[in-house]
Structure 1
Amino acid sequence: MNWYFAVLRKYAQFQGRSRRKEFWYFTLINALISMACGLVDSTLQLPTLVEGYGVLAALYAAFAFIPTVAVTVRRLHDQDRTGWWALIMLIPIVGMLVLLYFMIQDSTSGVNRFGANPKEHSDATFNV
């Protein structure tokens, strides 16, 4: 859960770099929370705001949108790519596959134009 909260602490921080571990743990916990919200919505038969999204799921999606975009941009920065590459996901299917490929790639070593490599810092200190 530390990686999830680390992303939330950097709520709208688009500068810097994020390593794979930070991105993927946040994505995993975000998906689990979204599914739990959907389950609660359907169990309690809460009204739907948009097709398939209940009130709780929609509120959580709105809350998590900015941190999700921010961690995606920082993840792209980790590979020395500009954050504008995140817009590639607007291209149906192919864009999502390209972005997925970018997200699973390793970071560039050392310092790049977006800062120092966060992977080279010790996990024991857990720099946030």
Structure 2
Amino acid sequence: MNWYLSVFKNYATFSGRARRTEYWMFLLFHAIVLAVLLGLGAVVHTMIPYLAYVLATAIPAIALTVRRLHDTGRSGGWFFIGLVPFIGDIVLFIFTVLQGDPADNSYGPNPKLA
């Protein structure tokens, strides 16, 4: 749960690096919350809570992905590769799965050592 909350503490921080654990734990909790809100929306016949949550978490999720790309030594501009149909999402997935640079890189110190 700390991984999930730490993303909101860095709400719009696009600089620095994010570990794989931080990224994937946030996505896990994010998916769980989305599923619960989607189910709740189906029961009460409204998608307002779901849409509100998606809008509230869009910036932190993008910022986290950019920090994850920084950890692998890539510019945050690679985030836009996800806009390329089919291939883009696969490439972005591979970049987020890769291990981060073990040493300091131009985006900051290794978050594992901090």
Shorter-chain TM band? over 0.9
1:93 Cα deviation after fit: 1.2
* Matched residue, 2:64: 71
- Counterpart of 2:8? 8
CA distance in 2, matches of 1:116, 1:110: 7
Gaps in structure 2 of 5+ consecutive residues: none
Percent identity, aligned pairs only, is 38
Residue type of the alignment partner of 1:2: N
Q: Establish whether residue 103 from structure 1 lines up as the match of residue 96 from structure 2.
A: yes
Question: Mapping of 1:19-34 within 5 angstroms?
Answer: 19-34=19-34
Pairwise CA RMSD:
0.6
Paired residues for 1:83-102 under 5 Å: 83-102=76-95
Equivalent position of 1:118 in the other structure: 111
Q: Which has the higher contact order (CA 8 A, sep 6+)?
A: 2
Cα distance per residue 1:39-89 (max 9 Å; x no partner):
11101112xxxxxxx111111000010000000000000011000000000
What is the number of equivalent residue pairs in this alignment?
114
**More helix per residue: 1 or 2?**
2
Q: What is the CA distance between 1:15 and its match in structure 2?
A: 0.4
Runs of 4+ in 1 over 4 A off after TM superposition: none
Larger-Rg structure: 1
- The TM-score normalised by the length of structure 1 is 0.87
Extract unaligned runs of 5+ from structure 1: 47-53, 122-128
SS at match of 1:108: coil
